[in-house]
Amino acid sequence: MTSTVRNKEAQRKAAMTVLAHSGAAEIAERLAEVAVPAHENLREPENGLVMVRGRIGGDGAPFNLGEATVSRAAVRLASGEVGFGYTLGRDRRKAQMIALCDAMVQSADFSGAVEAKVIAPLRAAMIAERNRKAAETAATRVDFYTMVRGEG
């Protein structure tokens, strides 16, 4: 695999991480700033279930933890790029927006605009929220020291 292909895959993976952790309203707000190209639904947004697996014990033996609701969608841009969107929960609109962003990230014509106007601001908001929560948690941190009794 060439480094260009690996770089594109890493960029796509990073974009999907940000989109999956962002709210639907935030994605819609940012996506409104981009000229969305003509596209068609390859898979209409739909809800379904996936099995969530866990690991237990010293050897990490897998077990079925339970089911989680997910939404998924697939779109194809008029230029041919195909994007897929998956998200936890029952938000079909969010899954479709993620799929659209995924397809646009792969397009040479739209990847710069999507990165600058959608992904980068959402990433900055996600990092700011994570830092705020970390600071809030750190403020309540208690350090416990072991006390040794001096007998004898």
Q: pLDDT by residue (tens digit) across 45-88? A: 999 999 999 998 778 889 999 999 999 999 999 999 999 999 99
Summarised one tens digit per residue, pLDDT across range 3-26 is: 888 888 898 999 999 999 999 999
Give the predicted TM-score (pTM) of the model: 0.83
pLDDT at position 37 is 92
- The CA R_g of the chain, rounded to the nearest whole Å, is 21
Cβ count within 10 A of residue 100 = 26
125: DSSP letter: H
Q: Cβ neighbours of residue 45 under 8 Å, at least 6 residues apart?
A: 71, 72, 73, 92, 93, 95, 96
pLDDT at position 105 is 94
pLDDT at 34 over 60: yes
pLDDT at position 60 is 85
d(CA 46, CA 27): 19
d(CA 98, CA 34): 14
Average pLDDT score over residue span 83-103: 96
- Of the listed ranges 18-27, 51-60, 92-101, 120-129, the one predicted with least confidence: 51-60
SS3 15: helix
